[in-house]
Structure 1
Amino acid sequence: MAQLSKISFSNGLFAEAIQLETSTSMAFVLQRLGLEGQHPALVLIGGASKMSAVNLKRLEKLFVEVLAPIAQKWQAVVIDGGTDAGVMRLIGQARHATHANFPLVGIVPCGLAALPDQIATSSDAAPLEPHHTHFLLVPGSNWGDETVLMDDLASAVAGSASVTILVNGGEITWKEASQSVEADRPIIVIAGTGRTADILAAALHGNSEDERAASLAASGLVRAIDLDTGTETLAAMIDDIFAAKS
């Protein structure tokens, strides 16, 4: 049986954590999260610790003015990698800054989750972002072990009313993007944020020799907006996706 616990952060907030076993059913997870029934899902993938301070600063406005408000508007379940870095930190801080109450679920390999007041068991472990409402600790001790469950949770909670937002990103992001396409989940790439995002955005215009990017672009499920000029477009895209499937 999966182990349930409460995580207490130094900021005074709490999150419910579920340590999953391989056999844990998604129905059990949804019941424990209080997410039974259909809810739109927003899957957030991309850069973590390797994002530059400049990019993080540029992205703050997008998260505070677009992503957190639209998740709140639809009461969407936001799903990410849960650690206190990059896009995961940005959405946690944006949720707090906008006084939102949408569910924010971080999915982390249990061998890499540095829990508050506990000694990390791996030098690669990372602290959890303290504004998330729930964490799923999945079996594994490698980054990327969480990606399948991120996709499974989004599909289970939302049915077809879901979207993936891709910001920056490295090698694991390619895997996550491919899984979104396999699940028939649209991806919106935030161009101008570097690395995977910019390679994929270029492929949409036929300007990339990266085979992974070309394959994803050919799926018809990938669109891109520019970080500096596409804020209103991003909000409209997400609205359209959620409205069409609700």
Structure 2
Amino acid sequence: MDENTQSWVDLIIKRSGNCKFKSRTCCIYNIKSISPDNIQDQLCPCGRMIRLHSSTGDSLETAEAKRGNTKFKHPNEFLEGNKHSVAVPVNVFGTLQPSGCKYLRLDVRLPMKDLFQLILEDCGGQKPALILSVYGGAKYFTMTEQLEKEFIRGVIDAATMANAWILTTGINNGVSKLVGEGISHYSLLREYPNKVKCIGMTMWGTINENTRLELKSASCINPPLKCERQIPKDVGEDREAIERNHTHCILFDSGKLHDYLSDSQRHHFVTEACKDTDNGHTCYAVTIIVEGGVHSLEVLRHDIEGKRPIVLIQGSGRLADVLAMLIEQTSNSDRNQYWKPSSEEIEQALERFYPNLNFSEVSSAVKQIQKILTQENRHLLHVFSLHRDKNVAETIFKAIFTVTQKKTELEYNQKDKNESLEQEQQRRTGEDKLVDLALEWNYFDGVLPILQARQNERINNKKDFIQVNTC
């Protein structure tokens, strides 16, 4: 076992006494349960065969009997919450070789503060200056070769220059596969590459059974886990494998197989990273949407709520192109005046890129897009166009800069005219960090507005000084 593997394992074992640091499994049946009526492969609502549960506690039937329920009937569907699942010790974790991908199966309810601290410790305590959430296309994801190369080059350049952590769904298809393979390719080309931190977040129930068995068998736990298929052998699976070029793969577990992760975990993880301001640290966050289904609107909604900038990759397809087209249709040429798209305009865009949506899906998407494209949110939305913009990395930084300046402007307009010296210093410190980052990224267009504002401020202060001394 190499040093890095031992470190990851030790960090997890160290948390074994934490009552929140758990995994989760179904408790409708338990390890002693047998299939009724000699049907060996009969399934539990959680998706496992009844006879192959791992819970060592009371089954649901036993628990109900202890409560005096003599008319218990086994459920036909799996319920979220504590009724059909139970927290259990973490027992699936380790490092996959030769890629070095560190994986961990965790309770879906784990506070994201705890997960952030775990990964931060594994990164030697080096805090990220930027969180790049790269989300969107999955199985049917396609881009032109030119756009694909520019996208991945820009993301990795931004990540390495700004000490960023990249977040994806961590599965081996679509945009997360593109990012993972891009990182691997980048590492081979650069002689002394900065190790790009790329964290995949998905559900234990999303990945296929073969991957689950592999992760169990490779886990660093004693005694070793019993590795046996929990779904029938004749069940065809179109589930996912994990993308192994990620540095970390976090597999959340609700106790149910064939489950998909909402955006809540990513959203709260990013929030935790950006809340960490100890010792003057600042972490920015940008979400990049590449293609994407209508379910990706949840990602945008969370980022809008968090006032985090969003970059849409125009030409990547579906959601990214729907929003990019609507932004262009409802903006002037200078992108400083906006108007709300009509329901008809949104429906036409959806029909063009999603011809198979049903009425309910269209209606829901229209309402969500209308909320996203309100005037007060437009400064959060940025479109990268391959034929117009210099590169993706610059667009990412421009998005950060625009949103940060807008926030500063709003705070300045709302503050008392007699700004305290401490508030002034905080504002200047924030601007200094942006200037440093702009210079590091060679984004000189971002430096100029701050320098111009400071020059104007000095001129005004000088005028005020002259007026006071001539009175």
Q: Same fold (TM over 0.5)?
A: yes
The aligned counterpart of 2:295 is 172
Q: TM-score when scaled to structure 2?
A: 0.47
Question: Which residues of structure 1 form unaligned runs of 5+?
Answer: none
Q: Structure 2 matches for 1:130-149, cutoff 5 A? A: 130-140=244-254, 141=257, 144-149=260-265
1:154 positional shift: 1.5
Q: Does 1:157 align with 2:273?
A: yes
Which piece of structure 1 moves more, 103-112 or 235-244? 235-244
Q: Structure 2 matches for 1:74-153, cutoff 5 A? A: 74-99=162-187, 100-114=194-208, 115=211, 118=214, 123-140=237-254, 141=257, 144-153=260-269
Percent identical pairs in the alignment equals 21
**Per-residue Cα deviation, 1:137-178 (whole angstroms, up to 9, x for no partner):** 113456652411111112212346100000100022111111
Secondary structure in structure 2 of the residue aligned to 1:113: coil
Secondary structure in structure 2 of the residue aligned to 1:200: helix
The aligned counterpart of 1:46 is 136
Which residue identity lines up with residue 105 of structure 1 in the other structure? Answer: I
Q: Structure 2 matches for 1:231-246, cutoff 5 A? A: 231-232=390-391, 234-240=392-398, 241=400, 244=434
Question: Which residues of structure 2 form unaligned runs of 5+?
Answer: 1-20, 23-89, 188-193, 215-228, 276-282, 331-340, 348-365, 402-432, 438-471
CA RMSD of aligned residues (A): 2.6
Which piece of structure 1 moves more, 110-119 or 185-194? 110-119
1:56 positional shift: 5.8
Tell me how far apart the structure 2 counterparts of residues 143 and 203 of structure 1 sit (CA, whole Å).
33
The aligned counterpart of 1:26 is 112
Which residue identity lines up with residue 230 of structure 1 in the other structure? Answer: D
- Structure number having the greater strand percentage: 1
The aligned counterpart of 2:370 is 214
- Number of matched pairs: 241
Which of these residues, 101, 108, 133, is aligned with residue 15 of structure 1?
101
CA contact (8 A) 1:190 1:224 kept: yes
Larger relative contact order, structure 1 or 2 (CA cutoff 8 Å, min sep 6): 1
Secondary structure in structure 2 of the residue aligned to 1:136: strand
Secondary structure in structure 2 of the residue aligned to 1:24: coil
Tell me how far apart the structure 1 counterparts of residues 181 and 297 of structure 2 sit (CA, whole Å).
25
CA contact (8 A) 2:112 2:265 kept: no
Which residue identity lines up with residue 182 of structure 2 in the other structure? Answer: A
CA contact (8 A) 1:203 1:213 kept: no
Q: 1:22 to 1:91 in 2, by over 3 A?
A: closer
Tell me how far apart the structure 1 counterparts of residues 305 and 327 of structure 2 sit (CA, whole Å).
18
Secondary structure in structure 1 of the residue aligned to 2:308: coil
